[in-house]
Amino acid sequence: MAIPSVDLADFLYGDTNAKSAFVKALGNAYEEVGFVAVKNHGVPNELIIKLYKQVQQFFSLPLQQKKSYEDSLLAGQRGYTSFGKEHAKGFEVPDLKEFYQYGQVPINNFNEEEYPLNISVKEIPGFNEIFEQAYRAFENSGKVLLQAISLYLGLNEFFFDNYITNGNSILRAIHYPPITEEPVSAIRAEQHEDINLITLLVGASADGLQILTKRNEWIPVTSLPDQIVVNVGDMLQRLTNNKLCSTTHRVVNPDRALWHTSRFSIPFFLHPKSSMSLRCLDSCIDVKHPKFYNDVTAGEYLDERLTEIGLKK
């Protein structure tokens, strides 16, 4: 499926008409599909290549070395999470994956909340430095996309800026290992919706991503090498009272002939600060669209979801 494609350069450098057309195209896509492919996204290709090399080196380490970077007290929010720990909401069988997470390093004397320290990987030179560079590139790209979303919603262009600066965003590197035996019922990632505001996904190393359309059909999604896929998360869906849609998606197993291969994927989950209210926007509530969600903060909602997917006890 060719998901809608937008060019971020139109928003950043185009004239008034180009900027307005971008806002409309992005908003319409998020109402109808929930996913877009973005070109000229601002994350340098050289950085993406370096990041993937580091990720592949990390997951090639012996299991015991990887597990030395796992801390169960962090609920999977920093460092390594071993195979079989996370499952989708509503499912008991774990996904067929392991992952590593890198989080926010606060700037400008931020003291609203205390984030856990990132876990340094000693065996791979420059590992954390590359993750920090990629984190900032994705964070900046996501901020610009949220500025466009703000305009589409009739808000001030910079509505989200303060909420996501020093926000609780996560850069996650995922490894779906080779499948060595018939899975009981699990697929690489069972159907789910993302927790956060928006997710920026740099091209995966293999096919497998599918989205569930409004016609209840599973459709494979791919993007061109120079694009990233960006989708709406549940926090943004809540905030907009379902105006923008957090689309169900999954990662299916490859054909049996490719079971011996790995799949790598690196999503950036853009979160606000925990204190941000996800109360439905007044502008998204009317007679036809009554308020659908209870008031909750981003931090409260994140804790609830981390418990539901098995990462937090």
In order of 120, 205, 213, 229, 231, the CA distances from 209 in angstroms are 30, 11, 13, 11, 12
Please say if the pLDDT value at position 222 is more than 80. Answer: no
Strands (DSSP E) along 249-295, which ranges?
249-251, 263-270
Q: What is the largest CA-CA distance in the chain?
A: 58
- Determine which of 204-218, 238-252, 281-295 has the lowest per-residue pLDDT on average: 204-218
Q: How many helices (H) and strands (E) does the chain have?
A: 8, 12
Q: Which two tokens stand for residue 151?
A: 């305009």
Q: Domain-by-domain residue ranges, the chain?
A: 5-308
User: Tell me, what's the pLDDT at 109?
Assistant: 87
DSSP string covering 180-221: -S--SS--SEEEE--SSSEEEEE--SS--EEEE-TTS-EEE-
C-alpha dihedral sign at 47, 48, 49, 51:
positive
User: Tell me, what's the pLDDT at 236?
Assistant: 98
Instruction: Average the pLDDT over 134-141 and give the result.
Output: 97
User: Hunting for tokens 């700037």 — which residue is that?
Assistant: 107
User: Tell me, what's the pLDDT at 87?
Assistant: 81
Report residue 183 CA to chain centroid gap: 26
Tens digits of residue pLDDT in 60-113: 999 999 999 999 888 889 999 999 888 878 787 888 899 999 999 999 889 888
Of residues 93 and 117, the one with the higher pLDDT is 117
Is domain 5-308 given the CATH code 1.10.3210.10 in the classification? Answer: no
Strand order in the sheet with 209-212: 189-192, 249-251, 209-212, 218-220
User: Tell me, what's the pLDDT at 182?
Assistant: 83
**How does the average pLDDT of the chain come out, rounded?**
92
User: Which residues sit opposite 249 in a β-bridge?
Assistant: 192, 211
Please say if the pLDDT value at position 2 is more than 70. Answer: no
Instruction: Average the pLDDT over 171-178 and give the result.
Output: 94
